[in-house]
Amino acid sequence: MEAPDFKSLAIKKKRKKILIILLATIFVIAIMVAVYPFLPLLKYKFFAESVKVLPGESEEAVANQEEIQDIASVSEIAGQTEIKTNLLIIPKIGVRIPIVEGDNETALNRGAWRLPETSTPDKGNNTAIAGHRWKYRPPSEKTFYLLDKVEIGDSFQIFWQGEEYDYRIVSVDVVLPTDVWVLNPTTVPTITLITCTPLFSTAKRLIVKGELAQ
C-alpha cells in the first residue's frame, strides 16, 4: 500500500484555495462595476438629505466637492457668500453647475449650456438650459443625472450676472428630440431644463420647466 502523497495534496489544496479567492475577487469586481453607474440613485434613495446643496453654501462647506473652482467663483464678503459665476443650483438633487455660453453643444463639456436661441433669466421669457445626464464620475453635482427625481413644486435657483432668481417647477415631461416647441417663448419668466432620457440613452428628452417665484 502506497503512502499518501501529502505534498501533492497540500499543493492541490493550496491551488484550490487560490482559485476560490480569485473567482470571489472577480465576482466582487463584476458586482461593483455593474452597480457603480447607479450609485447616485442609491445615494438619493437612502440618503436623500445628504445630496442636497444650499444656494448660500460657503466655499468651505463645499470644499469636498470635486474641482469646486471649476463650478463657481465664490468669495466671502461680510459673512455673505457672493457667487460671481452664472450658476444653476437644484438643492433637491445636489446639482451645482456653471451655466455656460456657446454656439453649439460642445459647450456642454464646460457646464450646463444655455441654448443661444433662447432668453436669459434677466430678460424673462423662456431660458433653456441643457445638461449632460451622465458624464462625470458619480455622484457628481455637474450633471442632470437625478433630474427625473424632481417634482412639481420643487424649487431651484439661478445666479445670473450677480443676481439670484428663484424658480418653482411647474411641469416635468418626456418628449422626442424633435419636439422643439419646448423652446417656445413664454409670457411668464421660465427656465426650461433639458437632458436625455432614459438614463444612458439619447432616445428622448426629459423636460423640466420652472417659473419665476413671485
How much is the pLDDT for 188?
97
**For residue 71, what are the CA distances in angstroms to 66, 97, 103, 108, 213?**
9, 6, 20, 13, 25
Taking only the tens place, the pLDDT of each residue in 42-53 is: 666 665 555 555
pLDDT band at 129 (very low <50, low <70, confident <90, very high): very high
Torsion of CA 84, 85, 88, 93, to 10 degrees: -80
In this predicted structure, the answer to whether residue 29 has a pLDDT above a threshold of 70 is yes
Rounded CA gap, 192 and 182, in Å? 8
Q: What's the confidence (pLDDT) of residue 165?
A: 97
Pairing of strands 126-130, 112-114: antiparallel
C-alpha cell at 41: 440613485
Task: Name the superfamily (CATH) of residues 50-212.
Answer: Sortase (2.40.260.10)
Peptide bond into 177 cis (omega under 30): no
Can you tell me the distance from the alpha carbon of 179 to that of 204, in angstroms, rounded to the nearest whole number?
10
The dihedrals phi and psi of 40, each to the nearest 5 degrees, come to: -60, -35
Domain ranges of the chain: 1-46, 50-212
pLDDT in tens, 56-110: 443 333 333 434 344 444 444 344 445 568 999 999 999 999 999 999 999 999 9
Residue pair 84/74 in contact by the 8 Å Cβ criterion: yes
Helical H segments across the chain, by residue range: 6-35, 39-46, 68-71
